[in-house]
Amino acid sequence: MFQLVYISSATPGETISMGNILTASRRNNTRDAITGLLYSNGQRFLQALEGPEDKVLAAMARIQADKRHRAVVVLSAQPVAEREFGAWAMAHHDAAQDGERVVEQVGRLVANASPSVKATFEGFCKLRRAA
């Protein structure tokens, strides 16, 4: 099982449809046995992908080439013993819609993640809350 976590920013001027992104993601990820979490506030993305290494890397290559976002920075890419972000084809959390609740939800989702990945997610949530 392989886990990859990255952060990115929406491309200025692009109208981002989370619906479109999630529909394609869930279709492809279900096919590829990939699960994970996509956190966004419309401007920035933080995504965790988990699954077979070759599938995760192939998905990441597609995602990286996607012009809807830029400044993609991979924060961690490592083998994990088991899935740490739940069994969703792609869970989605939106800072604007979920407000405070999202911080708690993400906190629960990353409860089993490694300390560095956990700190990254929690830091991102706090940052967005303060912005």
Ligand X SMILES: Cc1cc2nc3c(=O)[nH]c(=O)nc-3n(C[C@H](O)[C@H](O)[C@H](O)COP(=O)(O)O)c2cc1C
φ, ψ of residue 105 in degrees (nearest 5): -65, -45
Residue numbers at the binding site for ligand X (CB under 6 A)? 21, 24-25, 28-29, 38, 45, 47, 49, 59, 62-63, 66, 68-69, 90
| 95 closest CA partner among 82, 104, 108 | 104
Q: Whole-number minimum distance, CB 74 to ligand X, in Å? A: 13
Residue closer to ligand X, measured from CB, 86 or 115: 86
DSSP code, position 61: H
What is d(CA 96, CA 113) in angstroms, rounded to the nearest whole number? 24
Q: Whole-number minimum distance, CB 33 to ligand X, in Å? A: 12
Q: Whole-number minimum distance, CB 32 to ligand X, in Å? A: 7
**Residue 37: how many other CB atoms lie within 10 Å:** 24
Residue closer to ligand X, measured from CB, 17 or 115: 17
